[in-house]
Amino acid sequence: MPVDEHRLLALARVLDGYNGIFQAQFSGATLLDINPRVYGSLSLAVAAGVNLPAIWCARVAGSIGPTRLRGRPGVRYRWLEGDVRHVMSALRQGRVTVTGAVGALAPHLGTAHSIEALSDPGPLVARLRYALGAGRGA
């Protein structure tokens, strides 16, 4: 069931006074969560053709009005840290073989990633340092 415009207007009233990009998660017409910040899967929207940061900047500058956009379906998204944790857990529990784990973590061209980018390795390095204990004062 798609979210109807009345529900979106009600959501806008809840956010009255908020000024910025946010993510609203729905299950059908039911609002599950609101994240009033730039969120990790934003790269998926951009890769699917809906560049929300550019749209927001254009709106603030007054160069475009309200716009209804739909992302291109079929774009892959990967949260590498979550995928690695999931595969490692599955390996420990015997739910996947080493070959299956390697296949599950294989890269796919055209995939949008959360914070991982070869062109900007800083966020990934910071997360790795944290995961290895350096971020916990160890």
Domain ranges of the chain: 1-39, 40-73, 77-136
As a whole number of angstroms, the distance between CA 58 and CA 65 comes to 9
User: What DSSP string describes 86-103?
Assistant: HHHHHHHTTSS-HHHHHH
Answer whether residue 59 shows pLDDT above 90: no
Q: Provide the pLDDT for residue 137.
A: 54
Answer whether residue 63 shows pLDDT above 50: yes
Q: Render pLDDT for 82-92 as a digit per residue (tens, 0 to 9).
A: 898 899 999 99
Average pLDDT over residues 126-133: 81
CA angle at residue 35 from 89 to 57, to 5 degrees?
120
